[in-house]
Every structure is written in structure tokens, then in C-alpha cells.
Amino acid sequence: MTDRVPAAQGPAALTGLRLTEPKEVAAGVQAVAQAMKYATDWAGVVKGPRLLTLVNQHDGFDCPSCAWPDPKGHRATAEFCENGAKAVADAADRRRADAAFFASHSVAELASWPDKALNDAGRLTNPMVLREGSSHYEAVGWDEAIGVVATHLRCLTDPDQAVFYTSGRTSNEAAFLYQLFVRAFGTNNLPDCSNMCHESSGAALNATIGIGKGTVLLEDFDLADAVIVVGQNPGTNHPRMLTALQGAKERGATIVGINPLPETGLIGFNNPQDWKRPTKVGKVLLDRDKHLADLLVPVRVAGDLALLSGVQKELLEREADRPGSVVDAAFVAADTVGFEVLRDHLATLDWDVLEQESGIDRDGLRQLADIIADNERVIWCWAMGLTQHEHAVGTIQQIVNLALLRGSIGKPGAGLCPVRGHSNVQGDRTVGIWEQPPDWLLEGIERELGITAPTRHGHDTVAAIRAMASGEARVFVGMGGNFLSAAPDTEATAEALRRTDLTVAVSTKLNRSHLVTGRTAIILPCLTRTERDRQLTGDQFVSVENSMGIVHASRGRARPASNLLRSEPAIVAALATAVLGDRVAVDWQGLVDDYDRVRDLIQRIVPGFDEYNTRVRTDDGFALPNGPRDGNFTTPDAKAHFTTYDVPRSALHPDELLLMTVRSHDQFNTTIYGLDDRYRGVHNERRVVFCNPDDLAGRGLSTGDVVDLVGTHDGVVRVAERFVCIAFDIPAQCAAAYFPETNVLVPLDRVARGSNTPVSKAIPIRLRATGEHVAT
């Protein structure tokens, strides 16, 4: 028997904080050095650098990090960023979490390790089982592992008693087969990481323009007059985006950053690709006071809705004074509905409220309005800084309003650009990973395969956690990812997982979701995107969709970490064969023998994939249809919709701060590569909280003091223990700290209206001093 229940959170031990001044310029020589260090330390001095030459190349593999698109035609030799290099090196890790490793370490012991140490255990090599009552995982064969899963699934009295989660790194081929298996099994319980990140974008855009995706391509940045980046930190989360911003800047575009924190990537950028002309970027930065952005707007946490509403109000007041000076009247009249309602709504808003809630005074709002009014071709970019708020859907719809007012959509150099994080989260949704299946998908599955899939909506992430907690869901299967650490309300999620009969993880490396499990747990080790995938007909490739709707091939080239690893499509096929038997007439193994057959099936079912196998083999892939990008809105009435939304009033208690969760520079989502965040000047520590200096002083605190972060929601107290205070340039009554350490503070039942996304970017907290102080 286990000696104790494995912990849901990593240890709250402090590791020795060292502070330096925040950086003013991102990338440069130091980023190159860090990339090479990770590649050689983890993958080896030969293998590491060789793998980097294959990242985002036509004959190589798609970067397993973010979903930023690749340039058409010529690719640079180093077509990757520092974080991409870390992701590749992590996949090529020479260390192994093999059968001997698990025999030496109990689950309870491993649960006491920090997240970085778990990741540093190395690549998983064997199918593993944690039997009920056992303290250790043990190695088993593939047949036994698949058999355990099949037995549990077949024993359920209702298919809805199972939950099938998907990570955004899963390829189109694996995702399509996965959703097909799940629907043939009889459920639409397909939560995925979209539910926790960009679901708000999809909800906002589908309702207003008719597609839940952005409307620009990478080449539009070459034509833009202005690029406005809201709630996004491209220097850390999407570093290759800085190249597009730099190019736009050099061609005369105005760059705006709207964010509570002054993120280095928008302050300055030293492009490592510019080594042949090092003075040019330096000169541009020098001429612009070393700022990439012409304007940085330090909006309050959760103040974006007020800010965007204020800018709209300012623009329409100008239009009223000088008709035709701001609003693209012809476009609005021909292609939109709801303008008059919006105009009347904005007229009722109070300037004092807009300034107070946004944290930006009237002059600041006018300055932003000037840029929008003076530029016809504007690209709006945003990420999770907008999507994880209670009013996220309404906030994003205000961006749509601004684009529609100016006619900045459906034309070259202008449009909407939600920047996804996971490298194929958009593609997974396109090929069917969604708990709310569209009719065309279900009809196509029945037409092509004779499978009558369920029509009732399934569980998203939040609903899945509740179903497991109540005992309604008894089996959890995770296709990649780290569900426990990624999900909100860590302790509640852990307790929900513990109540299941079985948890299954298709994984490449050890993470906390392998340690907080159902009564029985299975680990199925899979290939990474960087590794060669050989099936019956030879080496296979997969495909992914980037953040701008381009589908392209990805070819793994590295030798697999273990000869026992299987590809994700092969694992899905084995599960489907074992669980479904002859219930459906699908040759699962035949599909896996040749992935072209999977793509042929996708082509017959999913719109936009015509000649899939031909077009995906071209160097740059192909663009999926996108009506709004071409100026044709795909809403039911073929019009774009203006949207009104009331500006909420903040209700913070005087001693509360509003916390947003952020990434450090040494992580990708829940994967922790290191303990540094050098752009913010933080080294060797993750348990830190960034606060306004006056907020600390008013509480008798200063940099180096240790506090607990305490949140209270609906009478439930949640605590994240032992965080070191850092005085930082952040608006008053706001704070920031890294996830997943602070996910414990995110209430399960506090979600965005219209998308059900957990509110991870606006958490009321109090600082509770522990009496400790650490030297910095």
C-alpha cells in the first residue's frame, strides 16, 4: 500500500532567488547561446545542433513549441527561437525514465519532487501500470497495457462515463483518429487545452465574423500600417513573432503593446538572424529609444474591456464631430449589422468609469485612438492575457468592433490575429476535437463510415472535472499534456482524478498527472514529433495547422528514444481495435499502416482538405478556407456583427490584489525547463509574486519578503504557499505570478461567460506575510 496520498502540488521550497535588472532587449546573442546550451546539454553535442537544423524546414519537423507560422518560400537556416530549441532539446533528452527508474522511486516520493525534477527524469520508454494499492509503477507489455484500458472502458455502463482529453501538440492524423474512436465508442466527452486557453477567441469570433480563427496570414505583417498586440508576451511565448514585428517596424508600421507588465519582447528586439547587418536593428532601436513598440499601454489587469470601450467611444465622438473621418461608412453599411446599437451604447458610458477601470487616463486613450484613426491597415493580435477573464468573450468582441469600424478586416495588411500557443491546438479543433460537434462532422462520419455518432454535447474541461468529482465519469484518458497541472483549482482537480477507476496518459516525459491518478493508472509512451515514425508502408509524416490556418507536413527524423515507443496514431488504433472490436467497420490498423489513408478520410469528411495528400506535400502546405479573411463573413446572415457589452466595475476589497498567471521564460505551458526568467530579471526561483512597489509598502512588505497568496471565492479559501515578493512595474492593485504553481488559486466555478474558460488572469488574492525574508 502507498504510505501517503501523492501530493497534487510540487514542494513550496524556495531555491535561492537572485534578481537582476529586467532586460530591455529580447533575443540577441544570449538567446542563441541559451538555445545551443540546451541543445547540447540535453541532446548531445552532435545530435542537438543537428536536430535544430531540421526545425521548421521543408524536409524537417514542425517546432513542437508555439503555433507561429513559418515564412513562405525561403527558410532561414536557424528557423527557430530559443524556446523552440528548448522544446526540441527536451524531446531529445538523453536521460531515461525507464522501468528501473520507476522501480527505484515510489509514486509518493516522485510527487514530492518539483516539476522541473520530474521533467528532468528523461524520456519515458516503457508502458507502465500503477495497480490499485501499489506504491510503484511497473513495466508491462503493450498488449497488457492496452488490455487494461479496454477492459475498463468496456465495463462502463454508459460511454459518457469516460473522458478523453487532448493536448494541442497532437497531430491532425492522431487527433482525427482519436475523435473518431471516441465518437464510435459513443461519447462527445472530448475536452482539450482549447477549453483552458483560446476558447474565448473562438466563441467571440464565431459569433461576430462566422469563423473561430484569425483572418490574417504572415505576409499581411509586411503590409500593415499598425500592429496592436494585446494581452500577449511574444518575447517569451511566441518569440518568432518578433521577427514579423521587426519587419513591420522597419517598413514604417506603428507597433503598440497593451499589457499590465512591460514585457521585454515589445520593448526591444535584437534579431539573431541579423548578424550580417548588426547595426541596422541597433540603429532602429536607438532611433526609437530602444523600443520596438511605439506605444506601451500599461492597462490594469482585467481592464482591457474598459480600455477598448473607451477607445471606441473616443473614435465615435470624433466621427460625430467630423463625419467620414474615422468610420469606414461604406464598409459598415454594406457588410455589418449593429452599428447604431453600438454607437448608442458607447454614448452612455462614463469617461470616469472607463479611466478608472482601465487604469489609463483620457490622454492615454486618445493616444491609442490616434493610432487607430490614422492607420487604415491594422492587425490586432492577442493571446491568453485576454482569453482567461470572466468577460473575455466580450473583450475580444470589442477588438472586432474596432476592426469593423475602420474596415480593417478582409483586406491585405489588416485583420484579426489570435495567437495560439500549442503548436496544433487549432488543427485539433479543425479535424474534430470538440465536445460540441458540428452537424457536418457527424454527418460525414456516418456517410463515410456508417458510424452513428452521438449528437449530445459532451464535457469540456471544467465539466469533465466536475463529472469525475461527482463519480459520473470513471475513466480519464489523456492524449498528451499534463491535465492536473494545466487545469484550474489544482486540489479540486486532483481529488476528481483520484475518484476515477482508471487514468491513462499518452506521454513522452514524466509529469505530475502521472502521480495523482485513479485507482489504477496506465502510462503509454509515445514518439515525439522529432522522432522517426516507421509503420508498415515505411516512414510516415504527420500534418499540423498553424495559428494562421496553414496546414503543412512535419517529418520526424531522429532515432526514437526507445524501440518500445509507439506513435499516437498507432496507440489510438490499438485502443480502438481492443475496445470496439467488430462494432464498427473501420480498419484501424490499415489506417495506421499508411497515414495517407487517414488524410484521405479527413479529406472526405472535413471541409477545406481537398487534395490533402497532394497539397500537404508542397513545401509551404496550403491555407484552409477562411471567408472573413477574403472579406466574406460566414455568419448566418453573411454580415459581421458589432457587439455591445457593459463595462464591469471592479469589486476588489482594499487589501486585495488582482493576480494574473504568467509564464516564465524557462517554461512552455506546464513544462519547466529551468528556474530563470531572465527578461524579468528573475533567476533560480519560480515562487515569486510581482507587485506594485506602493502595494507592497502599504502592506509593510518589500522585495524579498515571503508571503502566502490567499484567495477566497464563494467562501472557499485557497492558498498558494511561500512566494517571494518582487517590487515590479505593474499597475496598482495588480499582481502576477507563474503558473502552474498558482493554478491552485483558480476557482473551478469561476469561468468566462460564453466560453467556460477558467479565469486564470483575474484572481482576487491577499498577501499573507510568513515572517520570512530571503536575500535577493
Mean pLDDT of all residues belonging to the chain: 93
Decide if 549 contacts 517 (C-beta within 8 A): no
Contact 124, 560 (CB under 8 A): no
pLDDT, residue 50, reads 85
Return the C-alpha cell found at 345: 451604447
pLDDT average, residue stretch 255-260: 97
> What pLDDT, on a 0 to 100 scale, did the predictor assign at position 288?
37
Question: With bands split at pLDDT 50, 70 and 90, how would you rate the model's confidence at 285?
Answer: very low
Whether residue 749 contacts residue 373, with contact meaning beta carbons closer than 8 Å, is answered with no
CB 192 within 8 A of CB 165: yes
Give residue 163's identity as a one-letter amino acid code.
V
For residue 389, pLDDT over 60 is answered with yes
Calculate ∠ Cα 579-581-585, nearest 5°. Answer: 120
CA pair distance 337, 645, nearest whole angstrom? 15
Binned at pLDDT 50, 70 and 90, residue 271 comes out as confident
Distance CA 445, CA 602 (A): 10
Asked if the model's pLDDT at residue 528 lies above 70, the reply is yes
Helix (H) or strand (E) holding 769: strand 763-773
CB atoms within 10 A of CB 622: 18
42 compared with 372, residue with greater pLDDT? 372
Over range 565-587, report the average pLDDT: 97
Q: What is the pTM of this model?
A: 0.95
Confidence (pLDDT) at 25 = 86
pLDDT class for 388, splitting at 50, 70, 90? very high
DSSP helix/strand/coil, 454:
coil
CB 709 within 8 A of CB 490: no
Q: Please report, for residues 5, 428, 429, 457, 723, the alpha-carbon distance to residue 434 in angstroms, rounded to integers and kept in the order given.
A: 33, 8, 6, 9, 37
Task: Check residue 503 and give its pLDDT.
Answer: 98
Q: Is 291 exposed, middle or buried (0-12, 13-18, 19+ CB in 10 A)?
A: buried
- Is residue 118 classed as helix, strand or coil in its secondary structure? helix
Residue 253 identity (one-letter amino acid):
A
C-beta atoms surrounding 96 within 10 Å: 16
Tell how far CA 316 is from the center of its chain: 34
Domains and CATH numbers, the chain: 42-197+424-593 (3.40.50.740), 200-418 (3.40.228.10), 657-773 (2.40.40.20)
pLDDT tens by residue, 583-608: 999 999 999 999 999 999 999 999 99
Mean pLDDT is highest, among 229-233, 269-273, 422-426, for 229-233
Looking at residue 607, its amino acid is: P
What is the 8-class DSSP label of residue 192? B
pLDDT digits (tens, 9 = 90+) for 126-185: 999 999 999 999 999 999 999 999 999 999 999 999 999 999 889 999 999 999 999 999
Would you place residue 490 in the very low, low, confident or very high pLDDT band (cuts 50, 70, 90)?
A: very high
| Band of pLDDT at residue 273, cut at 50, 70 and 90 | low
Who has greater pLDDT, 41 or 321?
321
pLDDT for residue 76: 78
φ/ψ (deg, to 5) at 33: -60, -40
The confidence score (pLDDT) of residue 717 equals: 95
Cα–Cα nearest to 247, from 264, 223, 229, 231 = 223
Helices (H) and strands (E) in the chain, counts: 30, 32
Question: Do 767 and 699 contact (CB within 8 A), yes or no?
Answer: yes
Residues 6+ apart with CB under 8 A from 654: none
How long a stretch of residues is the chain?
776
Give me the pLDDT at residue 3, please: 54
Q: How many CB atoms lie within 10 A of CB 747?
A: 18
How many whole angstroms separate alpha carbon 503 and alpha carbon 533? Answer: 26
Q: Measure the CA angle with vertex 740, ends 391 and 165; round to 5°.
A: 75
Are 677 and 664 in contact, with CB atoms under 8 Å apart? Answer: yes
Buried-exposed string 115-153: b where 16+ CB fall within 10 A, e elsewhere? bbebbbbbbbbbbbbbeeeebbbebbebeebbebbbebb
Residue 767: band (very low, low, confident or very high) from pLDDT cuts 50, 70, 90: very high
pLDDT of residue 545: 96
- What is the DSSP secondary structure assignment for residue 410, as one 8-state letter? S
Q: Name residue, grid cell 467630423.
A: 322
At a CB cut-off of 8 Å and minimum separation 6, what does 207 contact?
393, 397, 635, 641, 643
**What's the average model confidence in pLDDT over 735-744?**
98
pLDDT band at 289 (very low <50, low <70, confident <90, very high): very low
Q: Which three cell numbers stand for residue 243?
A: 521577427
91-95, 443-447, 488-492, 536-540: which has the minimum mean pLDDT? 91-95
Under DSSP, is residue 549 helix (H, G, I), strand (E, B) or coil?
coil
pLDDT at 755: 97
Cα–Cα distance for residue pair 528/509, rounded to 1 Å: 10
Residue 274 pLDDT level (bands cut at 50, 70, 90) = low
* Phi-psi region at 591: left, alpha or beta (left = phi > 0; alpha = psi -120 to 50): alpha
Query: 604: Cβ–Cβ under 8 A, 6 or more apart, which residues?
Result: 444, 448
Cα dist. 707→261, 552, 615, 703, 775 in Å?
21, 47, 55, 11, 14
Q: What is the pLDDT of residue 287?
A: 36
Backbone angles phi, psi at 502, to 5 degrees: -150, 135
> Mean pLDDT throughout 468-496?
97
pLDDT for position 606: 98
Residue 93 has pLDDT above 70, yes or no: yes
pLDDT of residue 412: 97
